[in-house]
Amino acid sequence: MVKIPDYESPTLKIIDQRIEESQEDWRRAHLGGSLIGHQCDRFLWYSFLWFTAPDFSGRILRLFRRGHVEEPHIIGDLRLAGCEVSEGPEEGKQWRFEAHGGHFGGSMDAAILGLAEAPNTWHVGEFKTHNKKSFDVLVKDGVEKSKPQHYAQMQMYMLKFGMARAVYIAVCKDDDRYYLERVKYDSYYAGELDDKAARIIFADSPPKKLSERPDYYICKSFRCPHYEICHQGEETKERNCRTCQFSTPLKDGDWVCSAFCFTRPLSLDEQKNLAEDCPGYQSREG
């Protein structure tokens, strides 16, 4: 019997194509607080300097979208339970911190007061969605062990927003289970993360790799987007001011170019849209 080929809906294919085409510019002006817990300094350096454009499929982008769509439901449920939830300083704006001249920053999901576990304590609120496998590990091991990057993110927000507690609320996408965990502020660890951000941002040369072995499981099995550049010696395809060794982030938040003799800081658009004929461009890895 001839196998019937798998059917791929042209409509669904178009949906994913349109989502891919409409995704936001991936080049953040800053190193994000949500990334600072990543265990590889070289990964963070490459990310801050826009070395690799992400290659997210429409399906993955829809997964990201689902996480954002879940946040209003979590906030609504917290308010239903009698909590005060502040989403930002004013309508349409999140609570946001900036540090190291604005080169480092992040936004917390909400500030929460009135949890039954500690009614009089303000908490940094961090909301995440998980698949069943990830959710079950979270319930078993807790957020610090199972999701250290999320744990670091909350520590940074507690430091920057002056709170001593955070609450991590996760939703299982498979069966809608909730998980809630309160997290204590660790001032030493948070300070280390802040120092780490400055070290990455103002590094004159690439930081040490997580491993020199190309077959190291975190580098290869976890599909690091910078793997080809880091371990296979490929040159970045992203030709912009940040991947050029002559651009420098200053502690006041500006970027300057030492090769093209700019008498003023580089705007964000100029950093992104380096002229193709720039005579001073030289890759940081070149």
Which amino acid, one-letter code, is at 111? A
Q: Which pLDDT value is given to residue 275?
A: 63
Q: Which pLDDT value is given to residue 149?
A: 96
State whether residue 48 is helix, strand or coil. helix
Structure token digits, residue 95: 């609570």
Residue 245 in contact with residue 204, Cβ under 8 Å? no
CA 125/CA 128 separation, integer angstroms: 10
Q: What is the mean pLDDT of residues 55-80?
A: 88
Q: Flag whether 229 is in a domain.
A: no
Distances (CA, A) of 76 to 60, 166, 194: 26, 18, 32
Q: Flag whether 146 is in a domain.
A: yes
- What average pLDDT is seen over the chain? 91
CA 97/CA 103 separation, integer angstroms: 11
- Whether the predicted pLDDT of 286 surpasses 60: no
- Whether the predicted pLDDT of 12 surpasses 80: yes
- Whether the predicted pLDDT of 6 surpasses 80: no
Q: Flag whether 7 is in a domain.
A: no
Q: Which pLDDT value is given to residue 174?
A: 94
Q: Which pLDDT value is given to residue 112?
A: 98
- Whether the predicted pLDDT of 143 surpasses 90: yes
Q: Which residues of 94-124 are buried (b: 16+ CB within 10 A; e: fewer)?
A: ebeeebbbebbbbebbbbbebbeeeeeebbb
Picking from 207, 203, 277, the residue whose alpha carbon sits closest to that of residue 245 is 203
48-52, 101-105, 234-238: which range is least confident on average? 234-238
Q: Flag whether 43 is in a domain.
A: yes
* Helix-helix angle 187-201:148-161, to 10 degrees: 100
Q: Flag whether 129 is in a domain.
A: yes
Q: Flag whether 239 is in a domain.
A: no
Picking from 175, 167, 163, 158, the residue whose alpha carbon sits closest to that of residue 83 is 167
- Whether the predicted pLDDT of 48 surpasses 60: yes
Q: What is the mean pLDDT of residues 19-45?
A: 92
pTM reported for the whole predicted model? 0.91
Q: Flag whether 143 is in a domain.
A: yes
- Whether the predicted pLDDT of 263 surpasses 70: no
CA 124/CA 102 separation, integer angstroms: 21
Q: Flag whether 216 is in a domain.
A: no
Percentage of residues of the chain with pLDDT beyond 90 = 62
Q: Give the number of domains in the chain.
A: 1
State whether residue 248 is helix, strand or coil. strand
CATH number for the domain spanning 66: value is 3.90.320.10
| The residue to which tokens 């395809």 are assigned | 237
Q: Which pLDDT value is given to residue 1?
A: 60
Domain of residue 62, residue span: 26-201
What confidence tens digit (pLDDT) does each residue in 189-247 have? Answer: 999 999 999 999 999 889 999 999 988 888 887 788 999 998 988 888 888 999 998 99
- Whether the predicted pLDDT of 165 surpasses 70: yes
Q: Which pLDDT value is given to residue 63?
A: 80
Q: Which pLDDT value is given to residue 91?
A: 86
